[in-house]
Chains A and B, each alone.
Chain A
Amino acid sequence: MLEIVAQAVINGLLIGGIYALVSIGVTLIFGVVKIVNFAQGEFVMIGMYVTFFLATQLGMDPIVSLVVSMPLLFLIGVGVQHFLIRRVLGLNDLPQIFLTFALSLLILNVALMLLTPNYRTLHTSYSDAALHLGGLTVPVAKLIAFGVAMLLSAILWVFLHTTDLGRAMRAASQNRDVAQLMGINPHRVFAVALGIALALAGAAGSLLMPFYPAYPMVGQVFVLMAFVAVVLGTLGNVVGALVASLLMGIAESLGIQFIGADSGLIVVFLLLLITLAVKPSGLAARS
């Protein structure tokens, strides 16, 4: 029994790491730029395909391809901020919502057209490998993904708390007007925030590829969990999103194990509702 619980927690924690990469990106953009990026899942999808083609065309290992997918997505993020989001920032909420929503639909349908809806899977040497610890199984690919996800989250935390640019981003997220008065260039800060958020999505894509099939709609599977994590962990709070993602992964896995395989999401949303009833601003809110 204990073994089953432990295995369920391990499974949940491992997938929670992936949720974290996606949700940290969403929450970072929301915190700094005050815009909800509905297209975050599609950027995960782009990361997956970049990784897939690097592997099949150049034989590059998915983990190594992080050095391509992250900078590439960073540049896309800067471009999206500079050419699209910047134009709607002064406007009210609707154009902002429609912009990222339209971007999501556009990327999705272009991918369907160019890449077909077929599934593409990578088989790496560690794709089907697992560590067996007593009766417990830890899949290697997921363990690597989790480890890298936690490492990237830690680097981001250090960046936000120790560098000038990081502090500027936090300042802009706390009060944009005051930050501007203090001499912070908001557009530079916003561009970096978008870049980092998308780079994290790209990392999620690369890390998923060894054990998850790529297809144009794949982003939507993960983005739903990411949005829940963002709300659960308090909007705009990076650490909150990380903790919420891991909790949700575990809750989902335990739900599947002990309630029913179709109630993973039910448990997650129950967790969300209860949290919101007790702490309306999410787990990381200061009361």
Chain B
Amino acid sequence: MRQQRRKFLKGASKAAVAAVAAPYVMRGYAADPVNIGGLYPSTGGMAQIGQGCVVAAKMAVEMVNNAGGVKALGGAKLNLILSDVQSDTTVTRTETDRLISGNKLTAVHGCYASALTLIASEVCERAKVPIITGSSTDQLNKGRHFTFTPFARASQFARAQLQMAKLVADKPKVAVVFENTAFGTATSNGLKELAPGEGVEIVMFEPYSAGFTDAGPLINKVKASGANMLFSVSYLNDLILIVRTVKQVGLNIAINGGSGGFVIPDFYKNVGKAAEGLLGVAHWNHDVNDAAEKVNAEYKKRTGEFIFEYAGGLVAQTYMLVDAMERAQSADPVKVRDALASLDASSGYAAMAPGGKVKFGPDGKNVYGHPVGVQWQNGDLVSVFPKEDARKPLLKT
């Protein structure tokens, strides 16, 4: 009896080993799951967008895995390892370090917020792990080799906003107010530099500290400046206060809310009808192409809301990483980095971007990257600029 059992066990274990090992032996490498790090603030002041990103990150990994994983790696599944960077730069540094040193990571995506992404990118560069991000600050494209930015840069947002201003007013006199961290400063400096060339006059240029208790004093200042258009580079809670205060004061002024907090479903929920006709810019929108519409439908099923730029963009980023792994035939971070550098996507989920093409230049920028101008129309965020990306005409309000 004992003999038999031992024999059975031996046989069974051999069979099991053979069954499990077969694909590796045949292909000559291991189909362990591929670890992808996701760094997003799901607590703290940036949690709102961060949590939406987490939903999208999980959804993207499920989509890849349900479609058979990474085929060149024997159908290896993606394993998403999430880390909460708590909206804090110090935490971002330690969490990125911890994530990389504690796990065998192939690549990282995150953190959406520029101030956090800059830190995470530094850590990734040092550890030689590629990071792909929707963050728009141009600083990410200077002297970095493992950082990839598939979407429009902050400096490009500015030109789009200025060109849209000319479509709304014949002689735009613009007041620029911006929150005074990396995101706001980078975007607004772009506006200031480009305005003269685009024929737009800036009559007020004002940084403010995010998280104010009252937008009254700021709007008071805008009113005094005589501007006929307001560019606000803000996170959501400030923007809600700014738009509501403009209505309260009875100031008749066209508003371009930029990106960030302006292009997420919650903006409309909080501001309501007052949001109708407001303009903004985004590095991604849910109507840019058919693949994006499909992703949007799936996200809507899960959350009841349309997928906003950072969340949608990071689904595309996940597919860019998979595309790189397929071509590298490896989960090695340096090889995946090299494959990302030669990415050239023009179809499928990896190409979900305004213009529908992704190819990285030596600075990690998508050479085709450009923003879309968007407008709130009947509670939906619609792409209206430039012409080739517009899904509906821009309404003058």
Within 8 Å CB of B47, what residues of A?
112, 117
Residue in chain A with minimal CB distance to B184: A262
A217 to B211, CA, bound (A): 10
Tell me which of B108-116, B247-255, B311-319, B341-349 binds A.
B247-255
- The 8 A CB mask of A171-200 against B (1 = contact, 0 = none) is 000000000000000000000000000000
B223 to chain A, nearest CB (A): 8
A18 to B213, CA, bound (A): 10
Tell me which of A81-89, A121-129, A160-168, A233-241 binds B.
A121-129
Q: Does A257 contact B (CB under 8 A)?
A: yes
Within 8 Å CB of B247, what residues of A?
128
Within 8 Å CB of B218, what residues of A?
256, 261
A21 to B214, CA, bound (A): 16
CB atoms of B51 and A117 under 8 A apart? yes
Residue in chain A with minimal CB distance to B211: A221
CB atoms of B248 and A257 under 8 A apart? no
Q: Does B237 contact A (CB under 8 A)?
A: yes
**Among B48, B218, B248, residue most surrounded by chain A Cβ atoms (within 10 Å):** B248
CB atoms of B209 and A139 under 8 A apart? no
Within 8 Å CB of A123, what residues of B?
272
Residue in chain B with minimal CB distance to A141: B248
Q: Does B102 contact A (CB under 8 A)?
A: no
Within 8 Å CB of B224, what residues of A?
4
Within 8 A of B (CB), among A239-269: 252-253, 256-257, 260-262, 264-265
Taking a contact as CB atoms closer than 8 A, the residue among B43, B208, B272 that contacts A261 in the complex is B208
Within 8 Å CB of B169, what residues of A?
none
Tell me which of A9-17, A24-32, A67-75 binds B.
A9-17
Taking a contact as CB atoms closer than 8 A, the residue among B51, B237, B248, B271 that contacts A215 in the complex is B237
CB atoms of B237 and A260 under 8 A apart? no
B205 to chain A, nearest CB (A): 10
A127 to B271, CA, bound (A): 11
CB atoms of A253 and B270 under 8 A apart? no
CB atoms of B216 and A253 under 8 A apart? yes
Would A15 and B244 be within 8 Å (CB), given that A119-B237, A261-B218 are in contact? no
CB atoms of A253 and B217 under 8 A apart? yes
Within 8 Å CB of A142, what residues of B?
214, 216
Would A119 and B221 be within 8 Å (CB), given that A130-B248, A130-B250, A139-B248 are in contact? no
Size of B's binding interface in residues, CB under 8 A: 38
B233 to chain A, nearest CB (A): 12
A105 to chain B, nearest CB (A): 11
Size of A's binding interface in residues, CB under 8 A: 43
Taking a contact as CB atoms closer than 8 A, the residue among B48, B217, B248, B270 that contacts A128 in the complex is B248
CB atoms of B250 and A132 under 8 A apart? yes
Would A117 and B48 be within 8 Å (CB), given that A127-B244, A261-B206, A262-B180 are in contact? yes
Taking a contact as CB atoms closer than 8 A, the residue among A119, A217, A257, A262 that contacts B44 in the complex is A217
CB atoms of B217 and A256 under 8 A apart? yes
CB atoms of B266 and A119 under 8 A apart? yes
Would A118 and B266 be within 8 Å (CB), given that A109-B43, A139-B216 are in contact? yes
Residue in chain A with minimal CB distance to B87: A217
A218 to B293, CA, bound (A): 34
Q: Does B241 contact A (CB under 8 A)?
A: yes
Within 8 Å CB of B361, what residues of A?
none
Residue in chain A with minimal CB distance to B207: A262
A221 to chain B, nearest CB (A): 6
Within 8 Å CB of B208, what residues of A?
256, 261-262, 264
- The 8 A CB mask of B264-289 against A (1 = contact, 0 = none) is 00100111101000000000000000
Q: Does B68 contact A (CB under 8 A)?
A: no
Within 8 Å CB of A18, what residues of B?
213
Within 8 Å CB of A127, what residues of B?
244
A205 to B190, CA, bound (A): 39
Within 8 Å CB of A66, what residues of B?
none
Would A7 and B180 be within 8 Å (CB), given that A128-B248, A260-B206, A264-B209 are in contact? no
Within 8 Å CB of A256, what residues of B?
208, 217-218, 221
B265 to chain A, nearest CB (A): 10
Within 8 Å CB of A132, what residues of B?
250
Would A130 and B43 be within 8 Å (CB), given that A118-B266, A121-B240, A121-B270 are in contact? no
- Identify 10 residue pairs between A and B in the complex whose beta-carbon atoms are under 8 Å apart, listed by A's number: A15-B213, A121-B271, A213-B237, A222-B213, A256-B208, A260-B206, A261-B218, A261-B221, A262-B207, A265-B209
Interface residues of A (CB under 8 A from B): 4, 7-8, 11-12, 14-15, 18-19, 109, 112, 116-121, 123, 127-130, 132, 137, 139, 142, 211-213, 215, 217, 221-222, 225, 252-253, 256-257, 260-262, 264-265
Name 16 extra pairs, CB < 8 A, besides A213-B270, A222-B213, A265-B209.
Answer: A4-B224, A8-B220, A15-B213, A15-B216, A109-B43, A117-B43, A117-B48, A117-B51, A119-B237, A119-B269, A128-B248, A130-B248, A137-B249, A212-B241, A217-B44, A261-B177
The 4 closest A-B pairs by CB, nearest first: A261-B208, A11-B216, A256-B217, A117-B47
